[in-house]
Structure 1
Amino acid sequence: MKTLVTASWVIAHDGRSHVEIPDGAVLTDGDTIVDVGARAELDHHQADERIDLGDAVITPGLIDLDALTDIDHLILDSWASPDLSSGFTWSTEYFAAPRAVFDDAQRRTVREYALTQLALHGVTSYMPIASEVHSDWAETYEDSVAMAEVSAKLGLRAFLGPSFRSGVNVIGAGGRRTVAFDEEAGRRGLADALRFLDHSTRLADPLVTGVLLPCRIETLTPGLLRDVAEAAHERGVLVRLHALQGMSERDFIQHTYRRTPLQLIAESGLLSDRLIVPHGVVLDVHPEVLGNDTGDVAVLAGAGVSIVHCPLTNARYAHNLHTFGGYRAQGVNLCLGTDSFPPDLIRGIDVGTQVAKIQAGDLGRSHLAGYFEALWTGGATALHRPDLGRLAAGATADLAAFALDDFCMGVTEDPLRTLVLNGSARDAVLTMVAGRVVMRDGSIPGVDLPALRRAGQQLFDVMRAAYPERDHRHRTADELFPPVFPRR
């Protein structure tokens, strides 16, 4: 089936770079883009369906490689003092007898809620991230099977696998943070992950790709890291490893293994172009480490590692990449993720570009084009999918479109600058994956958004109420999460 999608702007790819086409059109045939160009040039094509989006910008589908597939906890824990935040981590007491806050049906609803949010925000391809705080350990084979089913029903492009770990961050009675280990749980988790790789192969669904998604590096033993590297090499699959993320991670690994996190990754055999690392912040160039370049960034670039930059979440947790432009200049493949709610990569780009200006002291060094390249072609490079992240003949028909006609959007200058400065991903009016319309004008076939919103709120309330049992001081939820102003 041929579909002609038209709008006031199209962001195409000419084989060298992205280009802006006024009054443009994209012609798809099944799951493939046949042609991209000016509307006047493509209007003669016979099409089974024509979708005119009016004053909007059509872009490659957004690629989110740290996509929230959970009920977000950042709204709770990104405001807290150190004293309060100590209550958000498992206590050693809780580690001895953890429980899953949600049952299987509730976890499935959580996934549906989160994946629906991705579709509404223009995301076409994603790798999931969910908190393990409210689980009884990490994720399971069954979790990923259920997520694949929900994702396939919606029509999103998923790179899936259960998270797994050997340990968990805990707080002792004295308030000291460390990692408590259950190495057998880590081995079971990897076995589940390998089992899901087999399941994804049997599915033979082009929208579901199995990958390995271990948890944070400090919660993995060196032995498990080596096993992951060996399995990834044998199977030829991608690995995403949360690492180089914070000073507590670095301090724990250096104290425990006499290695930096980057050295531990290298020694495990994971350094390659199949490794994807959120967030890649704490390296030698970070001011709390050395504040100068002794080669860490070059190591990542030389190995072909992809760094998932999450600028909105970084800002909310008071982190910075040092710097986006510096990593790019050394050849690191940067891609983007959201990591928290909302899954709004446009707001993320806005925050990232403003931070870049501040760091450089130069309005001309926002790297706006670089951020969009990271979003589209950087994500495609990380996934080893050159058919994604670009609108060009022969590419896969994954598209997003964002309205520019709302009065609150203001005036339009450059469509991308206008979208970033005046809009957000909530302005998405079309999400298309493999030539199929997943979302149109805020509506997703078969999804009751008001009912799903109510279910999401109920599950969030359950999650919030469970924090006191994990807190080493057993403070109430209202004590842990005080309102902005006193309530009466």
Structure 2
Amino acid sequence: MKTLLTAGTVISLDPTIGDLDRGDVLIENGVITDVAHRIDSTDAEVIDATGRIVMPGFVDNHRHTWQTAFRGLGADWTFPEWAAALHHTLKPHYQPEDVYLGTLIGRLEALHSGVTTMLDWFHCASGPAHADAAVAALRDAPGRSIFCYGAGWGTSDRIDTEARRVRSALPADELVTMALGLRGAEDTSIDTVAEELKLAAELGVRTSVHIASDGTNRPIADLYEHGLLRDTTTFVHANGIGDDELRMLADAGSSISISPDVELKMGFGWPMTGRALAAGLRPTLSIDDTPSVGGDMFSTMRTAYAVQRGLDGTLNSHDLLEFATLDAARSCGLDARTGSITPGKGADLILLRADDPTMFPVNHPAGTIVSAGHPGLVDTVLVAGRVVKRDGVLTGVDLTALRHRLLESRDRIAAAAGVRLDGSWRPQPQPH
């Protein structure tokens, strides 16, 4: 099966191809086979990309989709309030069906806004059925997804058996794969971190961990001193760690995921974008959670860009596109499959409306996307060559039925937890 995208403005994110003012992309059996100014193919389905920008789909390497039903509820919360609300008040009332609906609609939201690859950092496992529900939802959403099974946050202290069970059901060559969410050195013992890294290596999966510092602790240095930094680990947030610790991560080949909107509004500190670059790290970008912030990569890029430009005037718009595509794909171990428009990679592509009044005229494509882009521009989305959104509408999805089910789920959980949904409820942080 062949598909030919014709006459679009191509932002390839591949340095050997560059950007094409007018370009074609040929796809065969889900894989990009050619990128050129003009391609002749008489036996391909043609998608006219005139008036569209063709670029790689976004890669979000850190999002908690099980929380989707409570969108906006945490807009005014601090981090301790968020933790008290989601983990201590609402999560105990989640049934597997609630996990499934939040994860499915959250993943569809990401696809709708152009996120073709997403790591779902899952920490709502009250039991095996909850994890299975999240995996089922990711499989039912037609995206490239990574189920990151998170230790801690109320899961059992030892997840060896469960992690092995889930890994056996998620081969590495499918659209839905697995990662392991670690407890950091701040949350558990060094011995436990070592055990979880050993488990991940045995399972052949990458790892992700939330980490930060208030200036009184040195979590990265602790891991370094015990030989526990890996090139397969992504450190999420990392606000407040020292410049020397950032260099330790760079030397180890580790990745850093920045969630700028959450970090700024919840009081984590300044996003580490510029400091990471100065240390030799390529930052990546993530959403984190939609009860607190918007779920699209356009606003995430814009926040990261504006903050760093305000701090030191560095960065350009092309940097931000790389952070949100190829660099993030590399952090997930998927840069050979996705993240750029490169022959041999999977056709994970998005077409943005360049004729939309909020974008037109597009003089500098990368600059226009970063400064003015929004989800309403996402006209077409392909994952592994399959069209999952066409003419602005997700294909094969009954959103009306799903919305009804999610509202029922939300209302049941809120009632059981005694939570008001009008924004007047402020959770009480848990004592340390």
TM, length-normalised to structure 2: 0.87
- One of 153, 157, 160 as aligned partner of 1:186: 157
Whole-angstrom CA distance in 1 between matches of 2:78 and 2:289: 20
Seen in structure 2, the aligned counterparts of structure 1 residues 158 and 53 have a Cα distance that, compared at 3 Å, is same
Q: 1:87 to 1:332 in 2, by over 3 A?
A: closer
Q: Does 1:231 pair with 2:199?
A: yes
CA contact (8 A) 2:4 2:27 kept: yes
1:103 aligns with 2:104: no
Tell whether 2:2 aligns with 1:2: yes
2:147 maps to which residue?
160
Quote how far apart the aligned CAs of 1:205 are. 5.0
Query: Which residues in structure 2 correspond to 1:35-46 (within 5 Å)?
Result: 35-38=34-37, 41-42=38-39, 44-46=40-42
Equivalent residue, structure 2, for 1:346: 298
The answer for the alignment partner of 1:69 in structure 2 is: 65
> Following the alignment from structure 2 to structure 1, what is the Cα–Cα distance between the partners of residues 361 and 233?
42
Structure with larger Rg: 1
The DSSP-based 3-state class of the residue aligned with 1:239 is strand
Q: How much has 1:14 moved relative to structure 2?
A: 4.6
Superposition deviation, residue 358 in structure 1: 0.8
Structure 1 pair 82–215 and aligned structure 2 pair: CA distance change class (3 A): closer
Q: Distance in 2 between matches of 1:12 and 1:318?
A: 36
Answer whether contact 1:307 1:333 (CA < 8 A) is retained.
yes
Separation in structure 2 between the aligned mates of residue 281 and residue 153 of structure 1, nearest angstrom: 35
Alignment partners' CA distance in 2, 1:63 and 1:81:
26
State the distance in 1 between where 2:270 and 2:277 align: 11
For the aligned residue pairs, the C-alpha RMSD in angstroms reads 3.0
What's the offset of the Cα at 1:3? 0.3
Cα pair distance change 1:80/1:436, threshold 3 Å = closer
Question: 1:118-133 maps to which residues of 2 (within 5 A)?
Answer: 118-130=110-122, 132=123
What one-letter code is carried by the residue in structure 2 that aligns with 1:273?
A: D
What are the residue-to-residue correspondences of 1:352-391 with 2, within 5 Å?
A: 352-360=304-312, 362=313, 365-387=314-336, 388-391=338-341
Please report how far the alpha carbon of residue 368 of structure 1 lies from its aligned counterpart in structure 2 after TM superposition. 1.9
The range that moved more, 346-355 or 371-380, is 371-380
Q: Residue by residue, what CA displacement relative to the aligned partner does 1:364-390 show, whole Å, maximum 9, x if unpaired?
A: x24322221111221122122332111
CA distance in 1, matches of 2:86, 2:137: 29
Deviation at residue 82 of structure 1 after TM alignment: 9.2
> Is the contact between residue 62 and residue 125 of structure 1 (CA under 8 Å) also seen in structure 2?
yes
2:279 pairs with 1:330: yes
Residue 392 of structure 2 aligns to a residue whose secondary structure is coil
Where does residue 385 of structure 2 map in the other structure? 435
Which residue is equivalent to 1:283? 241
Counterpart residue identity of residue 407, structure 1: P
1 CA distance for matches of 2:113 and 2:265? Answer: 20
User: Where do 5+ consecutive residues of structure 1 fail to align?
Assistant: 169-181, 255-259, 285-292, 470-474, 483-488
SS in 1 for 2:67: coil
Residues of 2 paired with 1:319 and 1:206: CA distance? Answer: 35
Change (3 A) 1:7 1:338: farther
CA distance in 1, matches of 2:364, 2:109: 27
- Structure 1 pair 404/455, CA: closer, same or farther in 2 (3 Å)? farther
Q: What is the deviation of 1:160?
A: 1.4
> In 1, distance between residues paired with 2:281 and 2:79?
33
Q: What is residue 261 of structure 2 aligned with on the other side?
A: 312
After TM superposition, the structure 1 = structure 2 runs for residues 429-468 of structure 1, keeping only pairs within 5 Å, are 429-465=379-415, 467-468=417-418
Is structure 2 residue 245 aligned with structure 1 residue 299?
no
Aligned residue type for 1:344: D
1:58 matched residue in structure 2? 54
* Equivalence for 1:425: 375
- Superposed displacement of residue 478, structure 1: 6.3
Q: SS of the residue aligned with 1:234?
A: helix
Partner of 2:229: 271
Code of the residue aligned with 2:47 in structure 1: it is I
Query: How much has 1:191 moved relative to structure 2?
Result: 2.5
Cα 1:355–1:82 shift into 2, 3 Å? closer
Deviations 1:306-331 (CA, angstroms, capped at 9, x unpaired): 00111232233244445423312322
Higher mean C-alpha deviation, range 419-428 or range 346-355: 419-428
| Deviation by residue 1:325-358 (Cα, 9 ceiling, x = unmatched) | 3312322132221112332111111111110111
1:83 deviates by 9.9
> 1:477 deviation in Å?
7.8
Change (3 A) 1:227 1:86: closer
| Counterpart in the other structure of 1:177 | none
Whether the aligned pair in 1 keeps the contact of 2:240 and 2:269 (CA below 8 Å) is: no
Map of 2:181 onto structure 1? 213
**C-alpha separation between the residues in 2 aligned to 1:122 and 1:67?**
15
Identity %: 24
Closer, same or farther: CA 105–266 of 1 in aligned 2, 3 Å: same
Choose the corresponding residue for 1:393, options 332, 343, 364.
343
Q: Is the 8 A contact 2:62 2:287 kept in 1?
A: yes
What SS is found at the alignment partner of 1:21? strand
Matched, 1:28 2:27: yes
Distance (Å, rounded) in 2 between the aligned partners of 1:227 and 1:239? 12
State how many pairs are aligned.
422
The 8 Å contact of residues 180 and 206 in structure 2, kept in 1 or not, is answered as yes
Moved more, 57-66 or 423-432: 423-432
Distance in 2 (alpha carbons) for counterparts of 1:83 and 1:157: 32
Q: Is the 8 A contact 1:60 1:400 kept in 2?
A: yes
Deviation at 1:283, TM superposition (A): 0.5
Instruction: Report if the CA contact (8 A) 2:185-2:219 is conserved.
Output: yes
1:426-457 CA distance string (max 9 Å, x none): 32112211111122223233311233233333
Distance apart, 1:424 and its partner CA: 1.0
